[in-house]
A and B are shown apart, each in its own frame.
Chain A
Amino acid sequence: MSDNGQGTGLRPEAEDIELEAFVRALKQRHGYDFSGYARASLKRRMLQVVQSCGFENLSTLTGRMLRDDALVPDIVAGLSVPVSEMFRNPTVFAALREEVLPVLASYPRINIWQAGCAHGEEVYSLAILLEEAGLYERSQIYATDFSDAALVRAQEGIFPIKDARAYSENYLAAGGQRTLADYYHARYERIKLDERLKRNIHFANHNLAADGVFCEAHLILCRNVLIYFANSLQNQVLGLFRDSLVRGGFLCLGNRESLDFAPAARAFTAVNASARIYRLAARA
């Protein structure tokens, strides 16, 4: 064992104590509950917010935050799900196209919930997928995030043009039937996705850590969001997904997520394990 107690849990680092105080203050004062988040990434993100907002340390940020509501949106934005990319992990979108959409096609109306939509990269990917499968007219996509700033960005559907090439390659690798450029306009340094893609997308604020069932869904997409949650919150949210899905509904998670420590995951069976696509077992 180490003789100085560091790293052994005997003497916590100042930053770890500050982080717990911050989490408590944010929850009690402003109602945002991050207590169920895994701490390593939370700490990294908060230290970045401290730096970008020009504070000396997390304690001074916490002190200011207690009295200055104006600081909260920046903090919440800094803690929200980061930027993704369109058709990230193309094989997953190919699996959705080939294994999930044909089943969804049997429903007269299709509800899809994308939980943690970040800047909208995946929600527009999904809209394109549905469009090409001829299912978009009868689909409603609910894209939620706890960060209003992220939702505003997602609603705009504007992405840097430097990412367009990678997005196009992903789109084709996912089995896209046209060319991605058919769905956006390039202007200056940006691409803006076709307004028509938004016609059945509903953006709404929802916090997985605090809010309840959002809709009755046939498919829930929540990729690389639960990785930020400690086991107990992960399990709680999987329970929320279970309660939100119709019988036989689908759940798609990030392709390195583990459900092995979540009892609520027993309600799901793997449809495509490597793409992390699961199906809610029909209740007996």
Chain B
Amino acid sequence: MKYTALVVGCSTGGVHALGTLLAGLAPELQVPVIVVCHTGSEDVEMLREVLALKSSLPVVEASERYPPQPGTVHLAPAGYHLLIEADGCFALSVDARVCFSRPAIDVLFDSAAAHYGAQLIGLVLTGANEDGALGLKAIRERRGLAIVQAPEDAVAPEMPQAALRIAGADHTAALTDIAPLINRLCSP
């Protein structure tokens, strides 16, 4: 299989966008889905429950020191940066906010790019800041694949715009077309 992981970042409008994305993913998807969604809330349990109702894959909070599971959606815990460690397991950090955010999309994307290299797909969805753009650039520099939600299709276009400006993309697509695209890219 060419791709072994999918990392996703979103902010404003992200809960709805994630719901649409996760509902469209194939139940037999074999890659782990790792998500940073800026919520600003104390924990992600509510987000997890909301997404679990829509998702075709199980949705869990990422646990430090455990490896991502294929066919499972992992959410970054609130208040921590989520990273992929050299051994492929999840790691957490409470280092300074990046783009006013912790968890930050850039931190996840950067560390995932270092681990998965060309086998990684990075996806930037709706959001009102620039988080994720540098991370997506890191993914592309390691020959991973970049997908960005079309800005005109996003509730908040700033994040997709920044990603396109700073990183560029291999695919720019409307939200409803992204899950089918990923299903295709990740089919064995």
Contacts and interface: CB of A to CB of B under 8 A. Distances in A.
B142 A44 contact: no
B125 to A, nearest CB: 23
Contacts of A40: 83-86, 91, 111, 114
User: How many B residues are at the interface, by size bracket?
Assistant: 20 to 34
Given A40-B114, A44-B107, A261-B65, A6 B142 contact: yes
Contacts of A6: 117-118, 142-143
B123 interface: no
Nearest to B81: A41
B117 A227 contact: no
Contact of A256 (B83, B92, B95, B143): B92
A38 interface: yes
Contacts of A15: 114
Interface in A253-284: 254, 256-258, 260-261
A39 B117 contact: no
Given A6-B118, A231-B65, A82 B77 contact: no
Contacts, number: 87
Nearest to B93: A41
Given A6-B142, A7-B142, A227 B94 contact: yes
Contacts of A254: 94
Contacts of B64: 227, 256-258
B77 A7 contact: no
Given A6-B117, A6-B118, A82-B95, A41 B83 contact: yes
Contacts of B144: 7
Interface residues of A, number: 32
A82 B102 CA distance: 13
A257 B65 CA distance: 9
A207 B91 CA distance: 21
Contact of A45 (B86, B91, B95, B118): B95
Interface in A117-157: none
Contacts of B92: 224, 227, 256-257
Contacts of A227: 64, 80, 91-94
A231 B113 CA distance: 22
Nearest to B1: A1
B158 interface: no
A228 B64 CA distance: 10
A13 interface: yes
Nearest to B78: A256
Given A38-B85, A40-B114, A256 B66 contact: no
A228 B92 CA distance: 7
Contact of A260 (B65, B86, B96): B65
Contact of B116 (A7, A41, A82, A228): A7
B120 interface: yes
Given A7-B117, A38-B91, A45-B95, A256 B80 contact: yes
A2 interface: yes
A230 B117 CA distance: 22
A224 to B, nearest CB: 5
Interface string A1-35: 11110111000010110000000000000000000
A4 B116 CA distance: 12
Contact of B120 (A3, A7, A43): A7
B77, B79, B94, B96 — most chain A CB neighbours (10 Å): B94
Contacts of B77: 256
Interface string B1-25: 0100000000000000000000000
Contacts of B63: 256, 258
Contacts of A258: 63-66
Contacts of B115: 7
B91 A82 contact: no
Given A2-B117, A224-B94, 7 more contacts: A7-B144, A16-B86, A227-B94, A230-B85, A254-B94, A256-B64, A256-B80
16 contacts: A1-B119, A2-B118, A3-B118, A7-B114, A7-B115, A7-B120, A16-B114, A39-B86, A40-B84, A40-B111, A41-B81, A44-B83, A224-B92, A254-B94, A257-B64, A258-B65
Top 3 A-B pairs, shortest CB-CB distance:
A7-B117, A6-B117, A40-B83
